[in-house]
Structure 1
Amino acid sequence: MRKAIAIAVLVLLAACGPQLGPLERGETGRVVRAYAGDTLELDSGLRVFLAEMDAPRGEDAYAAQAQGELEALALHREVLLAYGGARRWVPRPREGQTEVPDEAAIAHVFVKSEGGRWFWLQHEMVSRGAAFVRPRHDNHARSAELIALEAQARQAERGLWGRREYSALSARAAAAQAIAADISCLRGAAPYRIVDAEVADARVFDRRASLRLQGAPAETPFSVVVFGESFARWDGPALASLTGARIRVRGPLGVFRDEPQLCLDHSSQLEVLPVGQSR
């Protein structure tokens, strides 16, 4: 009897469709193509960027495996899009360009398996270590859940987390990579990295904050910075209180006035780590 009831409950849940939580229901379709490990194309022609995560691409280490995981999970399957923030990415026309590419959706994706079970694609990609979490100020509705999943995958060294290239950087290594990139952190090409370090000095000003991290060379001090609209809408831990705290931050590396830095766009990009935790 209990077994029959359990089966009935499972069937009912499957019939009810995916559990969206706070997300808003969007379009449906069938996946006809996967680009890298974080982009899909539906049979309608709509391109879909997977919200709140990113994956290796191009010549990056683990890029082929990430795309393989995405294809295995979603290709030729029915999906439902759901939204928790900005819904569309609109490309800017390049100089001399006569045709502008179509806009793309930025969505959470729920996939219907062959057995009729719905699963959250971002959950699977991050859990397998095939993608990393990348929240933004206009898309962070489920980043806390994804960051917790990412921490488990990192601890188990699953997927990309078993590769040296994706280890969390020290302040010294982050400073070196920022200088090598030699680009503004506001540029799309800026390298996106995770850094674990202790805050040597936290300073908050009228319109910006700077967290200088321990471990970088004295001649190239490395800081985590928050400025502009990101500073104005900050809703995370009090930045001025972080001196001496060990933090994990994720964001683009850049250089400003010859000083290397990592820029934060939203408070979900900063974690205050328990004493002794550094993975």
Structure 2
Amino acid sequence: MRRFCLLALSLLLAAAAPVERWRVTAVLDGDTLELEDGRRIRLAGIEAAKPPRNAPSDEERRWPLAEAAAAALSELALGRLVTTHGETAPDRHGRTMAHLLRDDGLWLQAEMLARGHARVHTRPDARAYAREMLATEDGARGARRGLWRTRVYAVRDADPGTLARDRDSFQIVEGRVLRVSKTGGEAYLDFGEDWRTDVTVHISRPVMRDFAKAGIDPLSYEGRRVRVRGWIGLRSGPMIDITHPEQIERLEGGAAPARPSVPRAGAGAATDEDVEEEDSE
């Protein structure tokens, strides 16, 4: 069923795609390739397996997961004609972030996710098709394909001790939100009883507006299990700063009563009145 849905979506995208196509002349890593016109394309919305930032240079050359991802993308794209679909955007390295369709309609992002060679890593300016990509990633993770067979990429529990060791890295975290509080137009999702030491997700004021536009009330996360992806920082315990709504997935299952927790200074639980005020700005 998953493959059928991906095929149907790929054909739909291909039908709407522009006619102009370019040949892939080089694959630089598991999510970056070069076209015959000289452009370097970064596959938008995903991040392939790569060596850890602190890995020695000789270890980087032998990083099996990165090698497997690059080999898979080479098999899928090298020498093939591709076309971009949807909006494109430059990244800070001068590459073009884009969704790519092969000449036969294959969606490269979806195939890399389905094979377990990449994770979904959307950005504020590269978040199209997030729902479809998250569903594909979930299938690969459930089947333990590729990088999902290793502890390096395992989904983390919302445990402050574990996440403190993952500081300054991109992680996927799951846990139950015990409390949602709001202050100054910002929202905080607390996963523990004391926000000063436990795991917190922070939604800034500008991003709160994006949540409102998407019809998502952060209050709906209270008492729910969620899956959050983002960079781990340390600020009164491990914290993930949310830059766009697609970073948070509400998982299946009913809400559990939120346990009492230490109130955040100057903040209480958000009220319906607070949400209406935020939406009206």
CA 104–153 in structure 1, closer or farther in 2 if over 3 Å, else same: same
Residue by residue, what CA displacement relative to the aligned partner does 1:165-189 show, whole Å, maximum 9, x if unpaired?
11110111xx34553465xxxxxxx
Q: Is the 8 A contact 2:23 2:79 kept in 1?
A: yes
Q: How does 1:116-135 map to 2 (within 5 A)?
A: 117-135=104-122
Amino acid at match of 2:76: L
Pick the aligned partner of 2:248 from 270, 273, 278: 270
Pick the aligned partner of 2:187 from 198, 209, 214: 209
Specify every segment of 5 or more residues in structure 2 that has no aligned partner in the other structure, as ranges: 1-9, 52-59, 255-281
- Residue 55 of structure 1 deviates from its aligned partner by 1.0
Q: How does 1:2-41 map to 2 (within 5 A)?
A: 19-20=12-13, 25=18, 28-41=21-34
* 1:63 aligned counterpart, secondary structure: helix
Pick the aligned partner of 1:63 from 52, 66, 91: 66
Pick the aligned partner of 1:242 from 210, 214, 221: 221
- Residue 22 of structure 1 deviates from its aligned partner by 9.9
- Residue 242 of structure 1 deviates from its aligned partner by 1.9
- Alignment-derived partner of residue 3 in structure 1: none
- Residue 90 of structure 1 deviates from its aligned partner by 4.1
Distance in 2 (CA, whole Å) between partners of 1:107 and 1:194 is 23
Q: TM-score, normalised by structure 1?
A: 0.75
Pick the aligned partner of 2:201 from 206, 214, 224: 224
Q: Is the 8 A contact 1:53 1:131 kept in 2?
A: yes
Q: How does 1:6-155 map to 2 (within 5 A)?
A: 19-20=12-13, 25=18, 28-58=21-51, 59=60, 62-84=65-87, 86-91=88-93, 103-112=94-103, 117-155=104-142
CA 208–68 in structure 1, closer or farther in 2 if over 3 Å, else same: same
Distance in 1 (CA, whole Å) between partners of 2:73 and 2:18 is 22
Q: Is the 8 A contact 1:27 1:82 kept in 2?
A: no
Identity of aligned residues (%): 31
Distance in 1 (CA, whole Å) between partners of 2:175 and 2:99 is 31
CA 104–208 in structure 1, closer or farther in 2 if over 3 Å, else same: same
Distance in 2 (CA, whole Å) between partners of 1:149 and 1:164 is 20
* 1:118 aligned counterpart, secondary structure: coil
Q: Please report the RMSD computed on the Cα atoms of aligned residues, expressed in angstroms.
A: 2.6
More helix by share: 2
Q: How does 1:154-169 map to 2 (within 5 A)?
A: 154-169=141-156
